[in-house]
Homo-oligomer: A and B are copies of this chain.
Amino acid sequence: MREVFQQELREVQDRLVEISTLVAVSIENATRAFNESDVSLAEAVIADDDRIDEAALALDELAINILARQQPVARDLRIVVSALRVSASLERMGDMSEHIAQLARYRFPDKVVPKSLRATFAELGTLDVAIARKLVELLTSGDVRIAEQIRNDDDRIDALHLSVFDKVLGETWKGGAVDTVDATLASRYHERFADHAVSIAKKMQYLATGDWVAPEL
């Protein structure tokens, strides 16, 4: 029974790694579509989000099934419950990536943001891609030092997010309302993407220390 359970936990972990890999590909493509106004790539990101949703759904069914059959307690129980939460966060990360791609598609053939903000959004994109890749690594290896790195990357994203508002609300801002709306939303999506990654990273850290539930909510 114990061996079956361990095998099932590995299956849960493998699936989380799979979903996080889909999310990493999604944000990479969304960022490129956004920076380069690549409408067909944007449409691919939007279409592929269904795969992430389905994979998250399948994982949840598996986790609930394990709870029902294996009746885990203590740390084992917390691992399975945390898998449900990680899956929900990954699914939302996919949504944020899809929203970024949608902005690129709506504005096509125009660029989504004016020149003065392109470097900022390029960096936001690069950081979100890096965070997504680190998340794959973290879920694969369980190495909680990666969780710390993700939290540091998120601090930089928060600073960039604030700088977008400074720019948009500053006196030198020449953008029209479309630019202002797009910059506001795109920045928020990048920030939320990273927030969900941090929430997963915290869960992994506290799962490693045995006290994972407290800081999550």
Measured CA separation A39–B147 after assembly (Å): 37
Provide the residues of chain B in CB contact with A214, threshold 8 Å: 57
Query: CB < 8 Å: which of B57, B67, B73, B181 contacts A184?
Result: B181
A188 within 8 A of B: yes
Chain B proximity of A121: nearest CB distance (Å): 16
Instruction: Kindly list chain B residues whose C-beta atoms are within 8 Å of the C-beta of A61.
Output: 213
Structural contact, B217 and A88, CB atoms closer than 8 A? yes
Q: Are A217 and B181 in contact (CB under 8 A)?
A: no
Instruction: Identify which of B68, B173, B188, B216 contacts A177 (C-beta below 8 A).
Output: B173
| B217 and A57 contact, CB distance less than 8 A | yes
Contact of A81 among B67, B87, B180, B185 (CB under 8 A): B67
Q: How far is the CB of A166 from chain B (nearest CB, A)?
A: 11
Give CA–CA (A78, B77) in the complex, Å: 15
Could you say which residues of chain B place their CB within 8 Å of the CB of A56? 217
Q: How far is the CA of A68 from the CA of B81 in the complex (A)?
A: 11
Q: When the two chains form their complex, are residues B91 and A217 in contact, meaning their CB atoms are under 8 A apart?
A: yes
Interface digits, A173-186 against B, CB 8 Å rule (1 contact, 0 not)? Answer: 10101101100110
Interface centre among A57, A64, A77, A81 (most CB of B within 10 A): A81
